[in-house]
Amino acid sequence: MMDARDLLRSRPEGLYCPRGDFFIDPVRPVERALVTHGHADHARAGHGAVLATRETLDIMALRYGAGFAGATQEARPGEEIALAGVRVRFHPAGHVLGSAQIAVEAEGMRIVVSGDYKRSRDPTCAAFEPIPCDIFITEATFALPVFVHPPADREIGHLLASVRRFPERTHIVGAYALGKAQRLIALLREAGYEEPVYIHGALARLCAYYESAGVALGPLLPATVEGSDGAPPPGSIVVAPPSALGERWSRRFADPLLGFASGWMRIRQRARQRGVELPLIVSDHADWGELTATIGETGAAEVWITHGREEALARWCELAGIAARPLHLAGYEDEAE
């Protein structure tokens, strides 16, 4: 059997496949990149060629402009693509619209790179599919037993209850611009909320893109209109990127009540530090239970861990009798989510 390091290894630029001469989610410009999804720390501009799903390519073009890479190629879900002596396939990861895991295979060995993923239901993207493999490279953003994400509809219920209890306050909810914001709005619609949702300018293009991709978000209005006084009426829900919460932007609303939709909100102290009154535990990353269950489902004999709290998941693998090692890849941050 071949050495796994000939199939994938870490290099300063990112995860590298020597045999196929390509990188997965490289953090610096490279000749040939495979990109799992459109979040900025995975999808960067300036590569020679990019292979990704249609949605990820569209999102990159939206963020970086049409010339974000020398050449692009669309990977259809489940379709096998040969690259030198290596076969790759993209499978849904359930993280955000267009997000994929990438299976890399040669000489009977298969490694699956999870990218970012989650297992809980999300009306805005295709669900994660566990892919049997020899080695599973998993993310570990919420890899501590304290992270157990409750059902998202329960958290949406908290938001709607707060709107009913404080009808005079504008509820500003921080949500990551790509994925979380659209999921939050879609979940509000599922819960029967029909009022317009007011969105920060930074979300406009991505929301429009989700709609064009067939994800219905209902009536959306800009939260702030230059030179007009069309402020959202009291009791409205405003969705904004998390960075806007602590900034002067949030001051213009009537008696704002700050919420934040993130897996980090599981920890009270995190919510407190950010001045969040309404923490909503809604995450686009797998929680502890999802991470450990998924490792089991892939049947992998070996797990490589990246992107978060590697040491705790490595400990769990040790207890479960699965070989594991942290893969120290530079350049990824705790996503603000």
Partner 1 sequence: MERFAELLDRLVLTPARNGKLRLLVDHFSTVPDPDRGFCLAALTGGLDFPAVKPAMLRALVTQRVDPVLFAYSYDYVGDLAETVSLVWPASGGEARAPALSEVVARLATASRSDAPAVMAGLLDQLSPSGRFAAIKLATGGLRVGVSARLAKQALAVFGGVAVQEIEELWHGLEPPYTGLFAWLEGRAAKPENAMAAPFRPVMLAHPVAEAELSQLDASAYAAEWKWDGIRVQAVAQGGIRRLYSRSGDDISAAFPDLVGAMEFAGALDGELLVGDPKEGTGTFSDLQQRLNRKTVSRAMLARYPVFMRCYDLLVAEGRDARTLPYAERRALLSDFVAALPAARFDLSPEVPFACWRELDEKRRNPPHPVIEGVMLKRRDSPYLAGRPKGPWFKWKRDPYTVDAVLMYAQRGHGKRSSFYSDYTFGVWSGPAEAPVLVPVGKAYFGFTDAELKEIDKYVRDNTVERFGPVRAVRAEPGRGLVLEVAFEGLNRSTRHKSGLAMRFPRIARLRWDKPPGEADRIEALRALLPPG
What gap in Å lies between CA 144 and CA 34, rounded to an integer? Answer: 29
Q: How far is the CB of 77 from partner 1 (least distance, A)?
A: 33
Residues in Cβ contact with 191 at an 8 Å cutoff, skipping those fewer than 6 apart: 153, 156, 157, 160
Within positions 115 to 174, which residues make up the interface with partner 1, using CB under 8 A? Answer: 144-148, 165
Nearer to partner 1, 51 or 261 (CB): 261
Q: How far is the CB of 178 from Zn ion (least distance, A)?
A: 8
What gap in Å lies between CA 128 and CA 321, rounded to an integer? Answer: 25
Among 5, 9, 121, 272, binds partner 1 (CB under 8 A): 272
Nearest to 203 by CA among 225, 231, 179: 179
Residue 80 sits in the site that holds partner 1 (CB under 8 A)? no
252 binds, among Zn ion, partner 1, none (CB under 5 to 8 A by kind): none
Q: How far is the CB of 183 from Zn ion (least distance, A)?
A: 12
Its sign, for the CA torsion 260, 264, 270, 272, is positive
Residues in Cβ contact with 222 at an 8 Å cutoff, skipping those fewer than 6 apart: 198, 199, 201, 204
What gap in Å lies between CA 184 and CA 321, rounded to an integer? Answer: 38
Residue 25 sits in the site that holds Zn ion (CB under 5 A)? no
Residue 275 sits in the site that holds partner 1 (CB under 8 A)? yes
Per CB under 8 A, the segment of 110-118, 127-135, 202-210, 304-312 that binds partner 1 is: 304-312
What are the beta bridge partners of residue 161? none
Among 25, 55, 116, 134, binds Zn ion (CB under 5 A): 116
Q: Can you give the binding site for partner 1, defined by CB under 8 A? A: 144-148, 165, 245-251, 255-256, 258, 266-269, 271-279, 309, 311-312, 315-316, 319
